[in-house]
Structure 1
Amino acid sequence: MKRRTQSGWTMAALLALSAACAAGDGARGALGFEVLMHGADPGQPVDFAYYAPQPNSSTTLPRNRFEGRLRLSGAVERGGFLAHVDRYRAASDGDSPRRHLPDFDFELVQAGSHLIPVRRDSVANAHPDWEFVLSPGRVWDELGDAGYSRAALPFALQQKNANCIHNGVLTFLFKDDGSVSQASYQIASETCAYFKADFWGLLPARYTPQAVDGSDKLIADYRAEVAARMPVKPLAGLANDHPGIDPLKFAAPNGKDPREMSLVGLVIDGIHYSGGCATRYGAYPYCESLVVPSYSLAKSVFAGLGMMRLETLYPGAFDARIEDYVPACTNGWKDVRFGDALDMATGHYASAAYMRDEDADTGSATGLFQSERHADKIAYACTHYPRKAAPGARWVYHTSDTYLLGTAMSALLKKRRGADADIFDDLVYADVLRPLHIGPTAAYTRRSYDDVRQPFAGWGLMWLRDDVAKIAQFLAAGSRTQTVLDQAQLDAALQRDPNDRGLVALPGFRYNNGFWAHDIGARLPGCKGDVWVPFLSGFGGITLLVLPNGGAYYYFSDDESPLWMDAALEAHRIRSLCP
């Protein structure tokens, strides 16, 4: 694409900008020209509104166009930091690296007023704690910026080898000739129960204007991504579209603090009613670009739907034996099926008490979650828990069971398609998620940091809100007519087969094919008998309900409260949940 210079501005655009600025004094309350050009690090955190276009800004036709490489330096010794929750004292040791960003070196391409990162995955680097995840941002002009254009790029820090995600924005001024200001960055929200912190500062920047390989395709793909997004309305819009409905029952069910909601939404009749995006410094200005972690929702989306896809392609996959595909599993695994591992019913456990094994302080943290090598993770999954029951008989929750299953699924696919086949890229994403028009952020999964690159399967996905809404709509409304997944196994997971409710997890709760379910029939006016609501659940306070009325409700929070009954009851008032 040709670079647009100042002389390329139309008179209409100039008049529009002048008129907009005439409505105000053109002065910014924070992050003005002088601050970005000459301000001293770290400065102070500000309202996130200052990382977005102001009322007198023009986004119609930015005078400069960004295409090239942006580098930010000095992050390891600069910036402000304030911890709010540090359960494991990870940042308490002096000037811990966890208090600072990794080095930043990325290619970006501008299309109109949109700024598109070339990479949208979680980018491994030399930093011991953090990886960048970039999302599309914006470019605009302001009268006080002396001929520069202003860019804002949403980004996230994902904890290395984990799934905690901290959301921020960086902003800077630039010109076509490579002139660039410092970059101001700020993080003040997260989906992470055990580590909550603010990061902020000013970093020296270098901009190298250059043609980016594949930029035309990148822009075309991004425009297709935007065009394919579900229609979005504010959560408050439910009160207009469905008179008498209280949006607060969805925004803050059962007393949950709305300030702890990274994302929250209801999907019904093809409309995505969206809320959340609260931070400790105002609303996050790019809600469509805010990244959230799946945590254990991956047990349903990756392991559950992935197994259903395998069963369609290779009938009998649910009955395949773990020992035949995972050499590390020998003692006590000969009769354990893939389906048993998906159901958390391998017969291997230390305690059958609810979540006792998963929450234990020893073994799991170092053997499964902290080790970066597949050999360590699979050795833990195969050997840590003794054999105590017949497979398929007793439910005991272990994330290690799902990691083990993911390893077995990988081996089965490689046996069928060859050594280069990848269970996530070639099956879960290509066959299940991409046809839903899921965006490129969701094309990533956490993997072991070795040559095996084993996907975690039970955690480690990441999504934007549109990705969540599309997955939710598929499960709630599209799953009855799909042809990609094994329908019988999908119906069982979504409680459509009364003869297969799954294993008992707690009184009134079942677990089936990687999905939870709760019987709420006694709470629903007008319903008789059981009403099982399938749901996906993730660490810290992440929930996705698959409602029997064709709708779906979700939230991503980190207050460690999994409550959602208010939302289900209010959804029942929109349209009955009764069978």
Structure 2
Amino acid sequence: MARCLLACWLIVLALPAQAREALDYATMTAGRYRDSVDLSAYAPGKDARPPTHRFEGRLTLSGQPEQRTRVANTDYLTAENIKASKSFPEDFDFAFVQHGDVLIPQLRGPIRGKHAWWEVILEPGRVWDEPGDHGYTRAAIPFALTQKNANCTHNGVLMFLFDDKRIVGRAAMQVSSETCLYLQRDSWGWLKARYTPQAQADARRIGDDYMAEVAARLPIRPLSALADEFPGLEVDRLATAPDRSRTRHGVFYKGIHYVSDCPTRHGGYPYCEVLNVPSYSVAKSVVGGIALMRMEKLFTGTTRQPVSIIQATGCRTEAWKDVSLLNLLDMASGHYDSASYMADEDAAKIVQFFNPEDYAHKLAFSCEAYPRKSEPGKTWVYHTADTFLLGVGLNTLLRQQPGQRGKDIFSDVVDADIYAALKLSPTARSTRRTYDSYAQPFVGWGLFVHADDIAKLGRYIGVDHGKIGGETLLDARLLDEALQRDPAQRGLQVAHLANFRYQHGFWARNLQKELGCDKPTWVPFMSGFGGILVVMFPNGAVWYSAADDGELASIDFAAPAKELARLAPICTSAR
């Protein structure tokens, strides 16, 4: 839909007008918004026409919507957290540019504000006319509320009527879905809205950049097309999570991105192409893993650098002396309280790492929270704090190189060298950072992506073997080991789980039994909190799923593996 611009309106001009069932002109100007509506109300209908008016300037919103809390898990949230999360940001004041029938925010990616709990991500929306709107133009803007200092993501849409000078009535808003295990809530209602027309000096660039973004998206087909192209494949088995917890899932195979719909509690999300998905710990692979592999390619010996290069007293002790940056990426620092599966990551004291917003507290925890208990590289213990420490070490090392003073491991290495070349969305090309002058990228979480970004990253790592334009940008040995292409280097066993390994920021699972293979069949994957998976099958297929129920069934990809083996053999492709 985003590709069409004004020319696409020609196909609907001859259609008869249809009465809008929800959020019509009367409702938008003076009516009631008693409960959530089907989200199709926030999209152009069959009677839509090209926009008469042009929006360029600032949109200011204030007020509070209605809310219905569905989940507020006090294992993760305090009463103060829950209270703070119930309000909409009062400092919503952003510039937009209209390009044809698309309304584009000037700022993309997570936008910091004054709210205690929420930050905002704005995405390109639509503008159109409808017969019943009395000559005004209707605008819809996809957005997400994201938890400050964390990754929980609640997707919504804004809509309002406007002419060349003002917004008529109020702005409607609705949030009906999220990717968040511990906070789930419906929001709907009216916000006070003000339009300040204002020419934007960079309007042309914003429009051109958006067109380039759309042109760079992978070719898409609905998931149902897989059943047509590969008879016998059961598409329903590609969805591991139930609709109530599923954000989106899809498959990339031989240049085509096969995508699901975007279910919400109130109809399908109308702007699937820009639906925001949090990475959580998938970032450990696509930020932490990529960062170290790129640095090793640029500066040989990066992996062997000791943690003691970090300018922190707690990391310059004898206990850290022989721990390398690669040990941190492997979750094998030898520092831990318990080697039981996820015991340290789930322990009460971990809030001392996640809750602080500043660099100093996160760094101090990472260096000092766990005692030295084993030799580095021998025992797997999952620590997000170790990946944060890796990012600090990589920043330190990067800035020691000639001409690299003041550089940033995310912006100047991961994004500049990899993400930009992959043409990821502007949303994916920013990350969570500490809220101070250090602005240290989190590395182990904090990325937000679209489905197209997930497919591109999976293709780059799992299919293109870290090459862009024929050039290998990552250390080939490290990537081969991470993706189970070296049978002699399977990585460390994940606690007591004999069929799982972890290596260089990537997980792997042996699917020999599930697929009936005659030899071990190790399949690499990336994993994020709550139910986010990206699996890179050795037959060239990439499968992903974003969910938030935290159930084992939602992250068990054995069923999708059996279906995707119909595309090409997985057993014989594995090494």
Name the TM tier (shorter chain): over 0.9
The aligned amino acid for 1:225 is E
Match of 2:332 among 323, 336, 345: 345
Q: 1:286 aligns to what?
A: 271
Instruction: Name the count of aligned residue pairs.
Output: 554
Q: Aligned partners of 2:94 and 2:51: how far apart in 1? A: 21
Q: Is the 8 A contact 2:60 2:195 kept in 1?
A: yes
The aligned amino acid for 1:536 is M
The aligned amino acid for 1:34 is A
Match of 1:420 among 377, 382, 406: 406
Q: 1:492 aligns to what?
A: 481
Post-superposition offset of 1:475: 1.7
Q: Spell out, residue by residue over 1:400-435, the C-alpha distance to the aligned partner (whole angstroms, 9 max, x if none).
A: 100111111111111114432011010011111111
Q: 2:302 aligns to what?
A: 317
The aligned amino acid for 2:566 is R
The aligned amino acid for 2:137 is S
Q: 1:217 aligns to what?
A: 205
Match of 1:443 among 429, 433, 438: 429
Structure 1, unpaired ranges of 5+: 1-8
Post-superposition offset of 1:180: 3.3
Q: 2:245 aligns to what?
A: 260
Q: Aligned partners of 2:20 and 2:324: how far apart in 1? A: 62
CA 51–393 in structure 1, closer or farther in 2 if over 3 Å, else same: same
The aligned amino acid for 2:56 is E
Runs in 1 of length 4+ with deviation above 3 angstroms?
12-17, 89-95
Q: 2:3 aligns to what?
A: none
Post-superposition offset of 1:64: 1.1
Query: TM-score, normalised on structure 2?
Result: 0.93
What are the residue-to-residue correspondences of 1:391-470 with 2, within 5 Å? 391-416=376-401, 417-470=403-456
The aligned amino acid for 2:258 is Y
- 1:336 pairs with 2:323: yes
Q: Aligned partners of 1:563 and 1:324: how far apart in 2? A: 39
The aligned amino acid for 2:298 is L
Q: 1:31 aligns to what?
A: 23
Post-superposition offset of 1:499: 1.2
Q: Is the 8 A contact 1:99 1:199 kept in 2?
A: no
Q: 2:540 aligns to what?
A: 550
Match of 1:154 among 142, 147, 165: 142
CA 501–130 in structure 1, closer or farther in 2 if over 3 Å, else same: same
The aligned amino acid for 1:245 is L
Q: Aligned partners of 1:91 and 1:227: how far apart in 2? A: 44
Post-superposition offset of 1:218: 0.7
Post-superposition offset of 1:73: 1.7
Q: Spell out, residue by residue over 1:308-336, the C-alpha distance to the aligned partner (whole angstroms, 9 max, x if none).
A: 00000000000001102342412310110
Q: Is the 8 A contact 2:29 2:169 kept in 1?
A: yes
Q: 1:531 aligns to what?
A: 521
Match of 2:52 among 45, 52, 63: 63
Q: CA RMSD in A?
A: 1.9
Q: Aligned partners of 1:16 and 1:415: how far apart in 2? A: 60
Q: 1:472 aligns to what?
A: 458
Q: Is the 8 A contact 1:326 1:407 kept in 2?
A: no
Q: Is the 8 A contact 1:149 1:174 kept in 2?
A: yes
Q: Is the 8 A contact 1:131 1:158 kept in 2?
A: yes
Q: Aligned partners of 1:326 and 1:468: how far apart in 2? A: 34
Q: Is the 8 A contact 1:73 1:204 kept in 2?
A: yes
Q: Aligned partners of 1:97 and 1:234: how far apart in 2? A: 39
Q: Is the 8 A contact 2:12 2:48 kept in 1?
A: no
Match of 1:96 among 71, 83, 89: 83
Q: Aligned partners of 2:213 and 2:564: how far apart in 1? A: 29
Q: Is the 8 A contact 2:433 2:441 kept in 1?
A: yes
Q: Spell out, residue by residue over 1:423-464, the C-alpha distance to the aligned partner (whole angstroms, 9 max, x if none).
A: 101001111111111110111110000110010000000001
Q: Aligned partners of 2:80 and 2:390: how far apart in 1? A: 38
Q: 1:140 aligns to what?
A: 128
Query: TM-score, normalised on structure 1?
Result: 0.93
Q: 2:566 aligns to what?
A: 573
What are the residue-to-residue correspondences of 1:225-264 with 2, within 5 Å? 225-250=213-238, 252-253=239-240, 256-264=241-249
Q: Aligned partners of 2:237 and 2:31: how far apart in 1? A: 44
SS at match of 1:208: strand
SS at match of 1:309: helix
Q: Is the 8 A contact 2:175 2:186 kept in 1?
A: yes
Post-superposition offset of 1:94: 11
**Which deviates further from its counterpart, 337-346 or 114-123?**
114-123
SS at match of 1:180: strand
Q: Is the 8 A contact 1:299 1:457 kept in 2?
A: yes
Structure 2, unpaired ranges of 5+: 1-5
SS at match of 1:507: strand
Q: Aligned partners of 2:558 and 2:225: how far apart in 1? A: 21
Match of 2:502 among 500, 505, 511: 511
The aligned amino acid for 2:177 is S
Q: Spell out, residue by residue over 1:93-146, the C-alpha distance to the aligned partner (whole angstroms, 9 max, x if none).
A: 799331121021111111111111111121111110000101111111100001
